[in-house]
Structure 1
Amino acid sequence: MNGIDIMLPHYGDTSYLKTAVRSVIAQDDEHWHLTVVDDSVTDNGLPEWFDSLHDDRIHYQRNDHNLGINANFQKCLDLAERDFVVVMGSDDAMLPNYISTVRRTTARFPDADVVQAGVEVINSTGQVVRPLTDRVKRSLYAPDTTTPRVMGGEDLVVSLLRGNWTYFPSLCWRRESLKDLGFRPGLRVVLDLALMIDLVERGGQLAVVPDLCFQYRRHDASVSSSLASLGGRFTEEHDFFLDIATRMDRIGWHRAAKAARMHLSSRLHALLLLPGAVGSRQTASAKVLIRHAFGTTKPVRK
């Protein structure tokens, strides 16, 4: 089916969700269909709000029970029907040219399996910011994105394992390319990176264009931030990178295996969070962060 499915898994703040939905409605290209999959556990008044929009391009559904991040994301992929699919964050926003930019890019690079267009970072109030994490990724790990290009193979995997410079909620995937793939069960933080590596490992290509068209929100209430403060993020990342290193060695991508074992940006992230954990006397989290940053021993599971 032609067009782009915007799949929006939701849990949490309804004001952010409404902002995200309004940003989709404001697109300058109408070749989209929005499906919101609500994983909330309490009544939030959203069914009535969506009914008030009177827009046949928007479909809202609520899960019978809480599925959790991974399963709800997978449900979004399973529900997609159109040629391309975006799994958008419910706290992010599209600029009006997102759909037109992606469609123009897929026409220019017909063999690309996924598109990463230009992204700016916003904070909890919607102001454009440049957090240290994003500045480091863009200056040290991201390739040159000032001109359109297509990437793939081991070079792309090495780049992503050094530091995942893509913004998952902004990625547009060719649905057919994800056939027989999906989010790895059990992952909550690196499920996006795992999906990308799985795709590239079997020959998938990423088209990168500089056109700014998406706003990615960073704030302390996000899932990744809350897990990071507890050290849980790094326990998951540690196990993931070791598994990927083994897989990369098996297929002969030894540079990628080395990058996975180093997981440099993940270690640096742990170091950045360490002062906060120490200052707030989160001893257990601090120990996990130290182990992950310096790679001394395997993080202790909680």
Structure 2
Amino acid sequence: MKYDTTKVSVYIPTHNRSCLLLRAVYSVLNQDYKNIEVIISDDGSTDDTSDICRELALRDDRVKYIRSDNACGANHARNLAIQNCTGYFVTGLDDDDFFLPTRISTFINHYSSKYSFYYSQRKIVSRVHARDSENQLGKLVLDRLLHKNYVGNQIFVERTRIVEAGLFDVDLLAWQDYDCWIRIMKKFGDAYGLDSVDYIMDISHESERISTSKKAQMGIEQFMFKYRDILSKKHLITIESELLIISGNKIKWFDLFRLFNTHNIKRMLVKLVRQ
């Protein structure tokens, strides 16, 4: 089946980032693939986001704006957006990130329904440097995904599949995207990673990130409990090493030997050298 005329919905959750949001929205509208709708899901913004989004929707009928009066969190906003999408496919974009112009067409040109979803590579831009992500290339199986999030923060998926998998878990404190990818793969099988770098993740404006916070540690512990029936001892070693890395505690050589595996060795060595 060809998908070259199939509608794609891009959901953008946002909260009080109107200037960055404009960049994100225009990066979608300027895609070389044109059968697109943009769903902006405003999570109770108190700045000028509402005015800007309504103006965008008036200028371009591909833009749809929905709003929650109260801030309920990014995953509530994502779920609300997906529930209001009308595209056959959906993919996400954070309000401080942006697409390169060929992102959607690349997914469309490679898509096969035998894989549960597709994803690609990101360029991560900080205040001091830019680097490409190291997401898994080619076929990704569930056993490998259970070690760590080899997918990243966004996927390209049939809307019915992410809905049937249960959307994003608003009760998890961290790893909500990772959790969602696992549930989709449990239900629909292997995923596939493309080698294209077409998503720019902009962290240059951020200070403390959730990945280094106490909230993240609690979220990982929730995750481990949620998947306790399918996580093997090897999976748990990888996750335990991640907890140690973000805890702020020093890694000892004993920890390196005790927790070492191919999934975590790079992060553990970097932490060991920098501490």
Q: TM class by shorter-chain length?
A: 0.7 to 0.9
In the alignment, what sits opposite 2:7? 3
Alignment partner of 1:217 out of 202, 213, 226: 202
Describe the shift of the 1:9–1:165 C-alpha distance in structure 2 as closer, same or farther (beyond 3 A): same
The aligned residue for residue 279 of structure 1 is: none
The AA in structure 2 aligned to 1:115 is Y
1:33 partner letter: E
Residue range with higher mean Cα deviation, 259-268 or 1-10: 259-268
Q: Secondary structure at the match of 2:149?
A: coil
Per the alignment, residue 112 of structure 1 pairs with: 115
Deviation at 1:87, TM superposition (A): 2.1
On the 8 A contact 2:116/2:157 being kept in 1, the answer is yes
- TM-score of the pair, normalised by structure 1: 0.72
1:75 is aligned to: 80
C-alpha separation between the residues in 2 aligned to 1:233 and 1:118?
23
2:234 corresponding residue in structure 1:
258
Q: Are 1:150 and 2:123 an aligned pair?
A: no
CA distance in 2, matches of 1:104, 1:270: 38
Task: Check the 8 A contact 2:44/2:69 in 1, yes or no.
Answer: no
Q: Percent identity between the aligned chains?
A: 18
Give the whole-Å Cα distance in 2 for the aligned partners of 1:265 and 1:36.
36
Structure 1 counterpart of 2:230: 248
| Residue 62 in structure 1 maps to residue 67 in structure 2 | yes
Matches for 1:88-103 after TM superposition, within 5 Å: 88-103=93-108
- Report the 3-state secondary structure (helix = DSSP H, G, I; strand = E; otherwise coil) of the residue aligned with 2:86: coil
Runs of at least 4 residues of structure 1 off by over 4 A? none
State the Cα deviation string for residues 147-205 of structure 1 (Å, max 9, x = none): xx333xxxx23322322122223x11111212332222311421111111111122333
Q: How many pairs were matched up? A: 245
Name whichever structure is richer in helix by fraction: 1
What is the match of residue 300 of structure 1?
Answer: none
What is the CA–CA distance in structure 2 between the aligned matches of 1:158 and 1:91, rounded to whole Å?
31
Q: Is the 8 A contact 1:117 1:211 kept in 2?
A: yes
State the one-letter code of the partner of 1:263.
I
Q: Distance in 1 between matches of 2:221 and 2:173?
A: 13
Deviations 1:72-110 (A, max 9, x none): 22212211221110121111100000111011121xx23
Once the two structures are superposed, the pairs formed by residues 18-97 of structure 1 within 5 Å of their partners are: 18-48=22-52, 50-51=54-55, 54-97=59-102
CA 247–220 in structure 1, closer or farther in 2 if over 3 Å, else same: farther
Deviation at 1:261, TM superposition (A): 5.0
1:208 maps to what in 2?
193
Question: Could you report, residue by residue, the CA deviation over 1:200-237 in whole angstroms, capped at 9, with x for unpaired residues?
Answer: 12233312111221112234637xx4434431101110
Within 1, Cα distance between the matches of 2:100 and 2:34?
A: 14
Correspondent of 1:234 among 188, 197, 217: 217
Closer, same or farther: CA 247–12 of 1 in aligned 2, 3 Å: farther
Check 1:188–1:36 CA distance in 2 against 1; reply closer, same or farther (3 A cut): farther
Q: Is the contact made by 1:70 and 1:185 (CA closer than 8 Å) also made in structure 2?
A: yes
Are the counterparts in 2 of residues 84 and 173 from structure 1 also a CA contact under 8 Å? yes
Q: Secondary structure of 1:202's partner?
A: helix
Structure 1 residues without counterparts, runs of 5 or longer: 276-292, 294-302
- Measure, in 1, the Cα distance between the counterparts of 2:142 and 2:55: 43
RMSD: 2.7
Gaps of 5+ in 2: 251-267, 269-275
1:199 aligns to what? 184
